[in-house]
Amino acid sequence: MEIASLVIEFLLFGLGLYLYLYSRGAIKAKNPETQKKMEEFRVSNGTWMRYLGLALVAIMLINIILHFREMAAG
């Protein structure tokens, strides 16, 4: 069960990292039409996505560190 929860924590960490990178404009689409829609969405919602991504990354990083400490101690 500990391994499953650790995998979920890593997935949520990755989701937060993706959300942050998307809000900064680092994620690009291959299709120009899709890229235009992504850019419009990013411009109108970038601020809250950036904060949410950073918060999720920070919280999950703390959870991962504590999880590894718990596994090492027990």
Domain around 68: 2-73
Are 35 and 29 contacting, i.e. CB atoms less than 8 angstroms apart?
Answer: yes
Tell whether the model's pLDDT for residue 25 goes beyond 80: yes
Q: Show the tokens assigned to 21.
A: 């990178």
> Is the pTM above the cut of 0.85?
yes
Residue 1: the pLDDT is: 83
| Rounded Cα–Cα distance for residues 21 and 54 (Å) | 10
pLDDT band at 31 (very low <50, low <70, confident <90, very high): very high
pLDDT at 21 over 80: yes
Q: What is the pLDDT of residues 32-70, one digit of tens each?
A: 999 999 999 999 998 999 999 999 999 999 999 999 999
Number of folded domains that form the chain: 1
